[in-house]
């Protein structure tokens, strides 16, 4: 595993330990405390003809203006991402801003949506997420990771910088170094004959769920809940796989641990409450706490309630929760439960659901 290049912690989606064997790719979003190099050498094994790979890829959920052949002769930034990953979401303000600033100067931003969870394979759900996130630039769906493998990609989010001659000129994995990335974009556009003197570069700031993490206070890693990747489970008796079980809370939770109360089914990818008012708790240290949730099978909204140390969140509620702690699961996506407004300390976030049937996948933090 790569070592940190600075003391500032970073989150990195699926670090370079993807296991590709027999068509199986094992991925994890948000490996912590890594600061990858900006514009590092292109990964070993990456295609020398990236535009050809994109031309042959698909399906395109958002089309390339003028058709895929129109990528030739353009400067292209390729972003591998997945819409439920907080690391990918926090990179979006920059990608959207670059698209707006330079699309008339020969830049094309291309998203390669490579799903982590099964629900992200659904084209309709992905398109809805793109609309809700304001992602209007071209995106292709890479359910089989075919494009990922052609690019020898190593994680979410990652950026590939391709010049107007179709050659890769840089690769960056993880969050951060956005000023250097934009400088490289401007360099490649200038080399392609574009005059950028009239294109300003005001600061780019993410809002809401896309806001930059509070790195200095980010003391909690991701926490998967399905048994394939789960760690830190503390309910007495441990988990039972793929069947409903009545769980009891742990006597105490340390940072990075979690438990269940009530009847739950623990599956390989997610957990689901099997009775009303079943409770999920996690002990964390971060400004923000998020939970990836999937809606009920009948498509009806499911209300949930969040507390922090047993109390309503008040001013510390997240964007998907009100001050009393109430939220509603409608779409399969990442939900922000907590955004603390004061001093950051260890807290226990609890979430309960008014009826069974939702799916809870992973806690992430910021």
Judge whether 359 and 271 are in contact, CB under 8 Å.
yes
| Rg of the chain over all Cα atoms, to the nearest angstrom | 21
Judge whether 358 and 329 are in contact, CB under 8 Å.
yes
Q: Which phi and psi (to 5°) does residue 210 adopt?
A: -90, 5
Q: What count of other Cβ atoms lies within 10 Å of the Cβ of residue 2? A: 16
pLDDT of residue 277: 83
Q: Which residues of 28-62 are buried (b: 16+ CB within 10 A; e: fewer)?
A: bbbbbbbbbebbeebbeebbeebbebbeebeeebb
pTM equals: 0.90
> What is the per-residue pLDDT across 193-250, written as a single tens digit (0 to 9) for each?
999 999 999 999 999 999 999 999 999 999 999 999 999 999 999 999 999 999 999 9
Q: What's the longest Cα–Cα distance across the chain? A: 66
How long is the chain?
366
Question: Which domains are assigned to the chain?
Answer: 11-210 (3.40.30.10), 220-365 (2.60.120.260)
Nearest CA to 212 out of 53, 87, 324 is that of: 87
Nearest CA to 353 out of 260, 242, 283 is that of: 260
Judge whether 45 and 26 are in contact, CB under 8 Å.
no
307: number of CA atoms within 13 Å, CB side?
Answer: 10
pLDDT of residue 41: 76
Q: Is the peptide bond before 157 cis (omega within 30 degrees of 0)?
A: yes
Q: Which residues of the chain have pLDDT under 50?
A: 1-28, 30-38
Distance of CA 134 to the CA centre of its chain: 15
């Amino acid at each position: 595993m790569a070592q940190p290049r600075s003391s500032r912690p970073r989150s990195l989606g699926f670090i370079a330990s993807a296991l590709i064997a027999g068509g199986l790719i094992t991925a994890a979003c948000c490996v912590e405390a890594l600061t990858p190099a900006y514009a590092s050498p292109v990964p070993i094994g990456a295609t020398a003809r990236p535009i050809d790979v994109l031309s042959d890829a698909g399906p395109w959920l958002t089309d390339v203006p003028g058709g895929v052949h129109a990528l030739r002769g353009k400067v292209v930034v390729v972003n591998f991402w997945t819409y439920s990953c907080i690391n990918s979401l926090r990179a979006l303000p920059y990608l959207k801003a670059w698209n707006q600033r330079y699309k008339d100067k020969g830049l094309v931003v291309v998203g390669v949506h490579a799903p982590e969870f099964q629900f992200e394979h659904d084209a309709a759900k992905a398109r809805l997420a793109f609309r809700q996130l304001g992602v209007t630039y071209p995106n292709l769906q890479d359910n089989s990771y075919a494009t990922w493998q052609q690019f020898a990609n190593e994680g979410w989010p990652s950026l590939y910088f391709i010049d107007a001659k179709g050659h890769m000129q840089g690769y960056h994995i993880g969050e951060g170094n956005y000023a250097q990335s934009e400088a490289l974009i401007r360099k490649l556009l200038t080399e392609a004959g574009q005059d950028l003197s009239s294109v300003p570069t005001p600061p780019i700031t993410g809002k809401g769920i896309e806001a930059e993490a509070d790195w200095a206070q980010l003391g909690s890693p991701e926490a998967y809940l399905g048994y394939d990747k789960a760690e830190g489970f503390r309910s007495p008796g441990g988990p039972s796989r793929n069947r409903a079980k009545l769980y009891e809370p742990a006597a105490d939770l340390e940072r990075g641990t979690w438990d269940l109360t009530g009847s739950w089914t623990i599956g390989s990818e997610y957990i689901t409450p099997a009775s009303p008012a079943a409770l999920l708790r996690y002990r964390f240290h971060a400004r923000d706490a998020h939970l990836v949730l999937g809606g009920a099978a009948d498509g009806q909204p499911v209300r949930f309630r969040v507390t922090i140390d047993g109390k309503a969140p008040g001013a510390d509620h997240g964007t998907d929760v009100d001050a009393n702690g109430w939220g509603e699961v409608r779409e399969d996506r990442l939900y922000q439960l907590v955004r603390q407004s004061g001093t950051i300390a260890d807290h226990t976030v609890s979430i309960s659901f008014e009826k069974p049937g939702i799916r809870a996948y992973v806690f992430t933090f910021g």
